[in-house]
Amino acid sequence: MKKFILLGLIFFLAAAGLIGVQAGTGAAPAGNDITVATVPGWLALEPSRNGPVEWDGGTKNMAGYADENAWVDEDGNLHFDFAKGMDGNAFGFQPGSYYEFDRLFKLINQRDRSINVSINVQDMGAYRNYILIGTQSSRTLVKDFTPKDHATFPWPNPNKSRRIAAGDSIWVSVHFDIPPDAELTAPVAGKLVITASYDEGGRNNVRESMPGVEVAVDGQKREQVATVITTKEGGRTVTTVTVDPKLEIEGHNSVVTILANTNSDVVICELNGQLVKNMEQKQAVLEIKTEAATYTLPAQQINIDAVSGQIGQQVALQDIKVNIEIARSSAETVRIIENSARKGEYTIVAPPVDFKVTCTYGDKTVEVSRFNGYVERTIAIPDGVDPQKITTGVVLNSDGTVSHVPTKIIVIDGKYYAQINCLTNSTYFVIWHSKTFKDVENHWARDSVNEMGSRLVIGGVDENNFAPDRDITRAEFAAIVGRALGLKAGGTADKFSDVKGNDWFCGAVGAACEYGIVSGYEDGTFKPDQAISREEAMAMIARAMELAGMDTNIAGSGVDAKLAEFKDKDSVNGWAKKSVASCIKYNIVVGSNSVLAPDNNITRAETAAMIMRMLQQADLI
């Protein structure tokens, strides 16, 4: 059982160990109406009864008790300051007197959990014969003990957890029975702290009442639709926002926004599978915003039905826990990236961020790492970075290398962000990488070649040269299209008899095949080393355009109308006409002297230019 400090209820006690005269740090609003949890949490305490201080004989200078201030500090601790006595000094007790101090704390805004509660008494000095009472609904004696320098005892039972439900209370009474022979010569400070513990995967240092967390639907803030728990795990701060399964989403295409400006290292948005399904049916989008990044995830991309099938048993969707996570990368990941930057001669301009989606049922977890369409995320560019020295976002591969992902720089409220669209989850960051090739200095495709080279989409034939007018093979073209789109290499290409597992292009061709960008020939081959024709290249690009969400549908007469702009329209093969027309529609191909030259081999320069135009028309760069 891990111990978690939830809320410290700190009483500054002087003289008799009861009344404090020192003000706490920070402003303290007056009054007794204190609600601890500003965001609904699983356990919070609010003062619901401030009992009188009772005494049997002794001094009467305790009237100042009525002037009470209370406030919640940034760590979620509830503080009480008590006024000085009427004589301006600390309150004091007399030998031979009996005093009682009551306070009832009502539990509010909590999720049901089994917990143990302990009462911790510290530094009570010379005073003795305390009685502290913890109750659910009535005064039940918990412990009568002889004071020590430090004492902790459980409530209600050290060996049993009890289910805390809404409306339960903890009533703490401190009884002081001062013996006649007591020698009270100086004030003694003391604290009373209520702590709780629960068992949940090794979390510790839980803090409720997290400021900076909001939930909104279509821009309208919703109250009490999420709970927030912040923990320390392995030295990292983790904030978990659990969305109420009963969250109402009225219309279609709604955006549910979780704003978590908490400066936590990890932010997790937790939903159950049924809520995800409800959002999917209404084409809703979940948007998680942190200080470091934003993750915009259409609910349908989680594909909760497929996840349920992967779990492999009859399971209610509401029993599947879906976690969407944004995290600052670990120190080890940063080290790997820094090594990669040195080798790749690029500069990191925005630190790495991890994006992850997992679905859990019992002890089985399914990671959602691939999507059927582009999912948008933004990474904040640190202040002071020159926006002219930002090239692209990249993804960290499992082997420590990096790959291009479609990225454009945007400005929101005067701040720069890298808007990244990708088909997978992983670790992403932003780089500055300037690449120029000497042999394109005076070439018509210079800007496209250098831009695609800087973005790590294309490479040169050597360190300084690109060979812009050289033909390009089908395997090379498929690999370039895949890099441009940010496809994760590693798919299988076993449908092609001439693509082997140890071929350098196997993973790239496999990924392009999985996403429908390449199809091969009727004889089951791909012909990877064959030079690719212009119409074959346009067919691949047209399929890439569809994956990027572009509308490539053209009515039958529209296809002919587009092709009619070129003299050699009849040279286009029937299977390629629609693809070529789509490329003409979006100005991906412009022809030369009104000639398409569909059977000509495409050059490396033409490849760079067409790929760049495709990314621009898709609004991906």
Asked if residue 228 and residue 168 are part of one domain, the reply reads no
Asked if residue 602 and residue 467 are part of one domain, the reply reads yes
Structure tokens at 98: 């009996």
Asked if residue 214 and residue 199 are part of one domain, the reply reads no
Phi and psi, residue 611, nearest 5°: -65, -40
> What pLDDT score was predicted for residue 529?
95
> What pLDDT score was predicted for residue 158?
39
Q: Is 102 exposed, middle or buried (0-12, 13-18, 19+ CB in 10 A)?
A: middle
Asked if residue 465 and residue 419 are part of one domain, the reply reads no
Q: What is the pLDDT of residues 504-542, one digit of tens each?
A: 999 999 999 999 999 889 999 999 999 999 999 999 999
Query: Pairing state of beta strands 54-56 and 150-155?
Result: unpaired
Residues of the chain scoring pLDDT < 50: 1-93, 99-176, 182-210
How far apart are the C-alpha atoms of 580 and 569, rounded to whole Å? Answer: 10
Q: Which of 397, 432, 467 is the last residue of a domain?
A: 432
Q: Which of 416, 432, 448 is the last residue of a domain?
A: 432
Asked if residue 554 and residue 491 are part of one domain, the reply reads yes
**Secondary structure of 513-560 as H, E, C letters:** HHCCCCCCCCCCCCCCCCECEHHHHHHHHHHHHHHCCCCCCCCHHHHH
Whether residue 395 contacts residue 403, with contact meaning beta carbons closer than 8 Å, is answered with yes
Query: Pairing state of beta strands 204-207 and 150-155?
Result: unpaired
Asked if residue 599 and residue 471 are part of one domain, the reply reads yes
How far apart are the C-alpha atoms of 343 and 328, rounded to whole Å? Answer: 23
Whether residue 105 contacts residue 137, with contact meaning beta carbons closer than 8 Å, is answered with no
> What pLDDT score was predicted for residue 40?
29
Asked if residue 562 and residue 506 are part of one domain, the reply reads yes
How far apart are the C-alpha atoms of 470 and 61, rounded to whole Å? Answer: 98
Q: What is the pLDDT of residues 142-188, one digit of tens each?
A: 333 333 333 333 444 434 334 444 444 444 444 445 555 544 433 33
Whether residue 100 contacts residue 175, with contact meaning beta carbons closer than 8 Å, is answered with yes
How far apart are the C-alpha atoms of 528 and 507, rounded to whole Å? Answer: 13
Asked if residue 241 and residue 190 are part of one domain, the reply reads no
Structure tokens at 411: 């400005």
How far apart are the C-alpha atoms of 156 and 93, rounded to whole Å? Answer: 30
**Secondary structure of 167-195 as H, E, C letters:** CCEEEEEEEEECCCCCCCCCCCCEEEEEE
Helical (H) or strand (E) element with 510: helix 506-514
Range of the structural domain that residue 562 is part of:
438-617
Asked if residue 151 and residue 112 are part of one domain, the reply reads yes
Asked if residue 475 and residue 336 are part of one domain, the reply reads no
Q: What is the pLDDT of residues 474-512, one digit of tens each?
A: 999 999 999 999 998 876 777 899 999 889 999 999 999
Whether residue 169 contacts residue 48, with contact meaning beta carbons closer than 8 Å, is answered with yes
Distance spanning both ends of the chain, measured CA to CA: 51
Whether residue 70 contacts residue 2, with contact meaning beta carbons closer than 8 Å, is answered with no
Asked if residue 565 and residue 476 are part of one domain, the reply reads yes
> Count of domains in the chain?
3
Of 84, 72, 74, nearest to 23 by C-alpha is: 84
Query: Pairing state of beta strands 321-328 and 347-361?
Result: antiparallel
Q: Which of 410, 432, 454 is the last residue of a domain?
A: 432
The CA–CA distances, whole Å, from 527 to 301, 345, 404, 517, 573 equal 34, 34, 26, 15, 19
Asked if residue 184 and residue 86 are part of one domain, the reply reads yes
Of 181, 71, 187, nearest to 124 by C-alpha is: 187
